[in-house]
Amino acid sequence: MTAAGMHADQPAPSHTHREADAAEAGWVARLFSPRGEVVSASVAGLLLLIGWVFTGLDAPGAAVFYWASLALGMVHGGRAAIESARERHFDIDMLMAVAALMAAVIGQPAEGALLLFLFVLAGGLEGLAMARTRRAIEALHQLIPTATLRQDPSGEWVPTEPESLVPGDRIKLLPGELVPTDAQVEVGDTAINQASLTGESMPRIVHPGDEIYAGTINVGNPIEAKVTRPASESSLRRIMNLVLEAQQQREPVQRLIDRYSEPYAIGVMAVSIAVFLIWWLILGEPIFVTEGENAGRGALYTAITLLVVMSPCAVIIATPTATLCGIARGARAGVLFKGGQSIERLARVRAIAMDKTGTLTIGRPRVQQVHPIGWSDASELLAVAAGLEEDSTHPIAAAIREAAELRGVTPMKATRATFTPGRGVSGVFDGAPARLGTIEHAEELIPVCLRARTRELLWRVQERGQIATVIAWDGQAGVIIMHDEPRPGASTLVADLARVGVAPVVMLTGDNRATAEATAARLGITRWKAELLPQDKVAAIEELRRELAADAPGGIRKSRAAGVGVIGDGVNDAPALAAADVSIAIGSIGSDAALESADIVLLGDDLSTIPWAIGLARRTRRIITLNLIFALSAITIMALATLIGSRTGHDLPLWVGVLGHEGGTLLVVANSLTLLGAAGPARSRRRSEPDTIVRQDSPTREPAIAAR
């Protein structure tokens, strides 16, 4: 019978057999998981403790527990060593397995068992620590809910999986439900809790036309929305991918360690063998002592101890554990670091340049006052303006419509409306023409006796750096005054950055000087440049970098001890962001450009997060430095103690070397985990709605910019 025939005649595996195979595979996976390693190490430690108790009581059978503990530790330690050998890598796993076996060979199973117990325990705890740093990502995965889709043409609402949604689908969100994918509100007003993505505790108020994002929660009213992106391309999915990629990146220090870890491990083995041969053949020590007080000691014992204490466990994990903990802590607060390099660059920032519109300010003008001229009626003028802007997507149009809605003013219906680029909008209401826009556009419809006063008011508004647009209709005239509201935390940003040692802080904007000066004065910014083109911003950043280099001893530019950070909205600040040592995009949860181009992305709109992120980056760097100093110092001190002690009759006990080596590894992990408990940013108080005023008196507020 052929082989094919033999296989054909064999019965297919039964359902019971498949279940047994799956159960066996699951059991193996659990055994070699981080939690399984910790459990196995705990059992091995218990066996080791029982052996010590038996030894202390002079009871027989202590060696049995030592050997059992050693065997259980070798299940994990030996497996890792075998995998390294298969991949032709000589690493720390092989060093530890060899050291444990050699300890057993010279009659020291207790020391070998202790080594593997601590080694496996440290590895399991490290794995659990790494898993903990990924909880933010696991939490994001769990945010993907079932969607409620409207079916055409029946109009029925049916549950469906988010993966099946396509742009244009209409979905319904009830209070308490999660947003399944990025969408645009079409019916209803509500509050959206974005804390899972941005870390912001206050819900965001949304109206028809506003974007909502996957993974956020509807905490207000029922709404209907139109899908704008499939679930695979949603903001939530992009953020998840971003953090996963960041966790896989290596800092320069870690890349150096990775590069030399295998040569170092080979070097440790070579040095240990050399010490053994020198101590035995040249210095005349026995291979190991079989009897007496020093039983088990000798040249081989010294070499094994040296191999253990020089192994680079703590050095290898000093950087990645701290980096991953820093990335995870930032993600929980809505700060996305794109890997260890981003943390390193932010930690050395000493000066910051930032854009104005969309960065220091929200970038969305809001009506501050409707100022009628002469006998005109403010509410009637606002109704005409809202009617003219009914179909416009311009930010000023949105501000006027929003002001009318909040004031309870119903927009008037225009019989026809036309838009003149660079000037404004024209229309007809109740047979009378109306114009909204620049003074040149509207002046023809303004009564002659009111024109001078209108121009005077515009001049005062522009002098204050505010936004103004003129409305004229049916013998009436008025000026709609707007301002671009600062982001939360903008007013204290300069002082907060100064407290973390970042100065100067420079505002770079393309707006006119009056606007820039007014905004800077309101926000306490003393250095600013206005009317800049993109290339001018790049030149200003280079100038700031030269200024830092000139002020620093030895030249900061050469030592790279400091850098210039640039904060922008991630869309129109690309040249400046590219010129920076580290680029930060603010308020960019829905911005593809920011997620792709910036080194660091702040998903919320609170600028107080920036000083906190700098502090987190510096703390991460300090912990990495402390980890490396401690690990390298421990290796050096214990290696010298091993060599000197062996020649002076005070051999360093192998168990002391084991405790020092593995205890140092555990301390490094514990030190890194403190980052996860770091306090979050003290967020600024947010305003959920704009302060819209319609009144008759003169304008009294400061800030913002230009006429439309």
- pLDDT at position 486 is 85
User: Among the listed ranges 87-101, 143-157, 263-277, 626-640, which one has the minimum average pLDDT value?
Assistant: 143-157
Question: Which CATH architecture group holds 361-486?
Answer: 3-Layer(aba) Sandwich (3.40)
| pLDDT higher at 409 or 700 | 409
Residue 506, pLDDT > 80, answer: yes
- pLDDT at position 555 is 46
Please report which confidence band the pLDDT of residue 196 belongs to, taking 50, 70 and 90 as the band edges.
low
- pLDDT at position 626 is 93
- pLDDT at position 5 is 40
Residue 233 gets which letter from DSSP?
A: G
Cα–Cα distance, 140 to 196 (Å, whole number): 8
Average pLDDT, integer, range 359-371:
85
Residue 597, pLDDT > 90, answer: no
Q: Kind of pairing, strands 467-473 and 432-437?
A: antiparallel
Query: How many CB atoms sit inside 10 A of residue 600's CB?
Result: 26
Average pLDDT, integer, range 117-141:
65
Those residues with Cβ within 8 angstroms of residue 328's Cβ, 6 or more apart along the chain or in another chain:
132, 133, 134, 135, 136, 676
Tokens 């909204």 locate to 436
Q: Which long-range CB contacts under 8 A does 76-79 form with residues at least 24 apart?
A: 76/32, 76/37, 76/40, 76/41, 76/116, 76/120, 76/123, 77/116, 77/119, 77/120, 79/32
Using alpha carbons only, how large is the chain's radius of gyration in Å? 35
Q: Is 377 a catalytic residue?
A: no
The dihedral over CA atoms of 325, 326, 329, 334, expressed in degrees to the nearest 10, equals -140
Residue 446, pLDDT > 80, answer: yes
Orientation of helix 109-133 relative to helix 313-332, angle to 10°: 20
Residue 368 gets which letter from DSSP?
A: E
The residue from 91, 93, 182, 355 that is catalytic is 355
**Residues of the chain with pLDDT > 90: what percent?**
20
Give how far Cα 114 sits from Cα of 67, 103, 410, Å.
Answer: 11, 10, 80
Contact 286, 299 (CB under 8 A): yes
Say whether 143 sits in a helix, a strand or coil: coil
413: its two tokens: 């219906």
- pLDDT at position 679 is 85
Residue 592, pLDDT > 70, answer: no
Tokens 């498949």 locate to 18
Cα–Cα distance, 215 to 166 (Å, whole number): 17
Residue 12, pLDDT > 50, answer: no
- pLDDT at position 693 is 36
Q: How far is CA 364 from the centre of its chain?
A: 26
Those residues with Cβ within 8 angstroms of residue 19's Cβ, 6 or more apart along the chain or in another chain:
none
Residue 488, pLDDT > 90, answer: no
Q: What is the pTM of this model?
A: 0.68
- pLDDT at position 260 is 66
Please report which confidence band the pLDDT of residue 451 belongs to, taking 50, 70 and 90 as the band edges.
very high
pLDDT digits (tens, 9 = 90+) for 621-652: 999 999 999 988 988 999 999 999 888 888 88
- pLDDT at position 349 is 92
Please report which confidence band the pLDDT of residue 620 belongs to, taking 50, 70 and 90 as the band edges.
very high
Orientation of helix 252-277 relative to helix 313-332, angle to 10°: 160
Right CATH number for 144-177+182-228 from 1.10.1740.10, 3.40.190.100, 2.70.150.10, 1.10.357.10?
A: 2.70.150.10
* Residue ranges per structural domain of the chain: 26-137, 144-177+182-228, 248-324+617-677, 335-351+499-612, 361-486
Residue 275, pLDDT > 50, answer: yes
| pLDDT higher at 72 or 105 | 72
- pLDDT at position 294 is 58
- pLDDT at position 4 is 38
Strand partners, 392: none
| pLDDT higher at 253 or 99 | 99
Residue 49 gets which letter from DSSP?
A: H
User: Among the listed ranges 221-225, 362-366, 582-586, 617-621, which one has the minimum average pLDDT value?
Assistant: 362-366
Please return the burial class of 519, using the count of CB atoms within 10 Å of its CB with bins 0-12, 13-18 and 19+.
buried
Please report which confidence band the pLDDT of residue 463 belongs to, taking 50, 70 and 90 as the band edges.
confident
Residue 528, pLDDT > 90, answer: yes
Helix (H) and strand (E) counts in the chain: 25, 22
- pLDDT at position 411 is 92
Average pLDDT, integer, range 319-323:
83
- The reply to whether domains 144-177+182-228 and 361-486 share a CATH topology is no
Please report which confidence band the pLDDT of residue 248 belongs to, taking 50, 70 and 90 as the band edges.
low
Strand partners, 367: 482
- pLDDT at position 117 is 85
DSSP readout, 619-650?
HHHHHHHHHHHHHHHHHHHHHHHHHHHHHHT-
Average pLDDT, integer, range 475-487:
89
- pLDDT at position 319 is 83
Residue 704, pLDDT > 50, answer: no
- pLDDT at position 28 is 67
- pLDDT at position 185 is 92
Orientation of helix 15-31 relative to helix 34-56, angle to 10°: 60
Mean pLDDT (the chain, rounded): 79
Average pLDDT, integer, range 469-487:
90
Nearest to 64 by CA among 77, 53, 79: 53
Nearest to 529 by CA among 508, 505, 510, 512: 508
Question: Which CATH architecture group holds 335-351+499-612?
Answer: 3-Layer(aba) Sandwich (3.40)
pLDDT digits (tens, 9 = 90+) for 367-419: 989 999 988 889 999 999 999 988 776 778 888 998 998 889 999 988 878 88
User: Among the listed ranges 15-29, 204-218, 220-234, 632-646, which one has the minimum average pLDDT value?
Assistant: 15-29
- pLDDT at position 696 is 34
User: Among the listed ranges 27-36, 207-216, 438-447, 499-508, which one has the minimum average pLDDT value?
Assistant: 27-36
Residue 49, pLDDT > 70, answer: yes
User: Among the listed ranges 88-97, 141-150, 550-559, 569-578, which one has the minimum average pLDDT value?
Assistant: 550-559
pLDDT digits (tens, 9 = 90+) for 651-698: 888 888 888 877 888 888 889 889 988 888 876 654 433 333 333 333
Average pLDDT, integer, range 271-278:
92
- pLDDT at position 9 is 40
Average pLDDT, integer, range 134-163:
67
Q: Kind of pairing, strands 476-486 and 217-218?
A: unpaired
Q: How far is CA 195 from the centre of its chain?
A: 14
Average pLDDT, integer, range 131-138:
55
Which range of 72-81, 389-398, 445-454, 574-583 scores highest in mean pLDDT? It is 445-454
